[in-house]
Amino acid sequence: MHISEGVLSPAVLGSGAALAALGTAIGLRRLDYDRLMTVALLSAAFFVGSLVHIPVGLGSVHLVLNGLLGVLLGWAAFPAILAALALQGLLFQYGGLTVLGVNTFNMAFAGVLAAHARKGIARLLPGPGGQRTADFCGGALGVALAGFFTAAALAFSDEGFLTAAKLLFLAHLPVMAVEGVITLFTVSFIARVRPEMLNL
C-alpha cells in the first residue's frame, strides 16, 4: 500500500497532498482534544501494524488497520495516519515524503468511508448480529477501499488501473478478513468497557 517515491506524476502528488491537507484540517477541527491520547494510541497502532506480518500461503502480508482507525476516530484518522506514515517514511523508509500526501489520503479517506459504511450497515441490520457484521465490514472495507484508491493513483502511472487494482485486491483478501475480525473484536470490546469512546 505504500507507494514509493518517483512513481507518481507531480499532478497526482499535488492533488494527493492537497486532499490529505484538507482531510487533516477537518480531522483536527472536529477533534475533541480530551480524546487526543486515543488518537495518539491508534496512530501508534497503525505505525506498528505494518510490521505485523501474517503468514499466508507462501508469503506474508502485513496489517494496514486503516478501517479500525476510521471506525474509532472518524475524520481524526487523517492526522493519526499522517503522523504514523511520516514516521514510517522517516524511520523505516517505507513510502516517502513526497508521496506522503497520496498515501495518507488513500488510507485515511478509505477509513472514513469504511466508518460511514459501518454505520449504514448497522442501521440496516439492527441487533447484535447486524452490529457485528457492520464492525467486520468496517475493518475489511477500509483495506479494500485503500487498495482501490492506491490503484486509482497508480492508474496515472504506467501500470494501469485494472492490473494494479486486481493485484492489490487479490493480495489483500486475507488482510481484509483479518482486519475485519480485529475491528469486530476491538469495537465490541470498547463498546463493553468504554462505550462513550464510540460516540463520535
Partner 1 sequence: MKILPAFVTALLLLSAAPLLAHRVNIHAWVEGRDVQVRCAFSRASPAKNGRVTVYDASNGQELLNGLTDGEGAFRFPVPDEALKNGLRIRINAGEGHENQWLMEAGEFAAAVGAPDSSPGMPGEMPGQEQKAQDADTAEMNARPYNEDLRRIVSETLDAGLAPLRRDLAALTNPEPGPREIVGGLGWLVGLAGIILYFRGGRRP
Interface ranges with partner 1 (CB under 8 A): 2-8, 33, 36-37, 39-40, 43-44, 47-48, 50-51, 56-62, 83-84, 87-88, 91-95, 150, 153-154, 157, 159, 164, 167-168, 170-174
Cell 466508518 belongs to residue:
115
Nearest distance from C-beta of residue 155 to partner 1, angstroms: 11
Work out how close the CB of 17 gets to partner 1 at its nearest, in angstroms, rounded to a whole number: 16
Cα–Cα dist 135/121, whole Å: 9
Nearer to partner 1, 38 or 183 (CB): 38
| Four-point Cα dihedral 64, 66, 67, 68, nearest 10 | 90
For residue 97, give every residue at least 6 positions away whose Cβ sits within 8 Å of its Cβ, in sequence order, or none. Answer: 5, 86, 89, 90
- Considering beta carbons, is residue 94 or 185 the nearer one to partner 1? 94
Nearer residue to partner 1 within complex by CB, 168 or 187: 168
Q: What does 28-89 look like in DSSP terms, one character per residue?
A: HHH--GGGHHHHHHHHHHHHHHTT-EEEETTEEEE---HHHHHHHHGGGHHHHHHHHHHHHH
DSSP string, 85-141: HHHHHHHH--S-STTHHHHHHHHHHHHHHHHHHHHHHHHHS-SHHHHHHHHHHHHHH
Give least dist CB 150 to partner 1, A: 7
Specify the residue, 125 or 173, whose C-beta has the smaller distance to partner 1. Answer: 173
Closest approach of Cβ 18 to partner 1, in Å?
A: 19
Query: In the complex, what is the shortest distance from the CB of residue 154 to partner 1, in angstroms, rounded to a whole number?
Result: 5
For partner 1, the closer of residues 92 and 189 by Cβ is 92
Identify any residues that bridge with 56 across adjacent strands, giving them in sequence order.
Answer: 59
Nearer to partner 1, 95 or 142 (CB): 95
- Least gap, CB of 36 to partner 1 (angstroms): 5
